Amino acid sequence: MVSKEVIVNNGTGLHARPATLLVKKASSFKSDVSIEFNGKKANVKSLIGVLSLGVTKGANITVTASGDDETLAAEEIAKLIETLED
């Protein structure tokens, strides 16, 4: 299992459009990928799960990946979250 801390820079947080991009990216990996925010955890391959966390701008979240390509999955998802724009 690989974990990475990430700060959300997107002005509107992880709303519908960026969350959709995250789900698409996460779905390209074999590993299970999740994010944790405010003590709640969600599967990044689930749009409803990501949206239900209510992640806002400046939030510090933890990306966790577990599986065959966990290192690459965690790095790619973390990088995507850091570079998302409005």
Distance CA 14, CA 70 (A): 22
What's the confidence (pLDDT) of residue 78? Answer: 97
How many structural domains comprise the chain?
1
Catalytic residues: 15
More confident residue, 56 or 86: 56
Look at residue 85 and tell me whether its pLDDT is greater than 90.
Answer: no
Could you tell me the pLDDT band of residue 42, with boundaries at 50, 70 and 90? very high
Give mean pLDDT, residues 31-50: 98
Contact between 73 and 33 under an 8 Å Cβ cutoff? The reply is yes
- Please indicate, yes or no, whether the overall pTM of this predicted structure exceeds 0.85: yes
For the chain, the first-to-last Cα distance in angstroms comes to: 30
Which residue range(s) make up the domain with 75? 2-83
